[in-house]
Amino acid sequence: MKITVKLIGPFVQLFGFSEKELDVPGGTTADDLIGLVSIDRSRPKIVTRNGRAVVPGEALAEGDRLVISPIYSGG
């Protein structure tokens, strides 16, 4: 299934891309995907799926948009 991954803020420079589409097997979770795009797991982050915070372990679906962002605290 096709999933779009979008990085936010300094993650773009730190992990080398801004947005990309990935073809992943069915049943892939958000956590699996973070590993696939080589994001440092220890970094504090907020992951949203189609604009809503991801529930740990939830499986992704065809066409999902996963956004991985540092935890902003509002200027």
Q: Which residues contact 16 (CB under 8 A, 6 or more apart)?
A: none
Among 25, 26, 27, 44, binds another protein (CB under 8 A): 44
HSE-CB for 50 with a 13 A CA cutoff: 9
Closer residue to another protein (CB): 9 or 35 = 9
Among 12, 36, 59, 61, binds another protein (CB under 8 A): 12
Angle of CA points 35, 40, 46, to nearest 5°: 85
The reply on whether position 4 binds another protein by CB under 8 A is no
Q: Which stretch binds another protein (CB under 8 A): 5-13, 20-28, 30-38, 56-64?
A: 5-13
